[in-house]
Amino acid sequence: MLRRWRLAALWAVCGVLIAAVKFGAGAPTTAAVVLVVFLVLAYLFSPGAFPRPESTADAVADGRPVVYWRPGCPFCLRLRARLGPDAAQLHWVDIWQDPEGAAVVRGITGGDETVPTVVIAGEAHVNPDPAWLHDRLTVPS
């Protein structure tokens, strides 16, 4: 559980330390800006920026597309950000939280845990272009 938050905590701690140095040097405005930037980065790289993770068993049950991801992955973050509100149409499986999901990804990628891996209509796509996935979600059924 803690492993999922490690990168976010690192961003936050670095931001606090740099802001403290800037504040001590007599630049409180710069300190505040630095702190805000680092805290935003901490949030973006945390599991909190993603929809609530599900188990693989729950995700594949209804046939909606499944995204296998992990916290701290910049490509997962890019996919999540570019999908915007449409991300709610997908199931999000955190492979660090769900060993079955990690096994699925390793099976798809030949042993690696390369994410994001998207399974849509039974077909797997490793690190797909967000625009491509967005187009698949907005096509009328």
CB 100 within 8 A of CB 66: no
> For 72-117, what is each residue's pLDDT tens digit?
889 998 998 888 888 888 999 999 989 999 999 999 999 999 999 9
Strand pairing of 91-94 and 117-120? unpaired
Q: In terms of Cα–Cα distance, which of 90, 78, 81 is closest to 121?
A: 90
Structure tokens at 104: 């699925």
Residue 112 CA to residue 53 CA, distance in Å, equals: 21
Q: Flag whether pLDDT at 141 surpasses 70.
A: no
Q: Flag whether pLDDT at 140 surpasses 70.
A: no
* Residue 45 confidence (pLDDT): 75
Looking up tokens 């046939």 gives 63
CB 105 within 8 A of CB 117: yes
> For 23-72, what is each residue's pLDDT tens digit?
999 999 999 999 999 998 888 777 777 777 788 888 777 878 999 999 88
Q: Flag whether pLDDT at 124 surpasses 60.
A: yes
- Bridge partners (DSSP) listed for residue 67: 92, 118
The whole model's pTM is what? 0.70
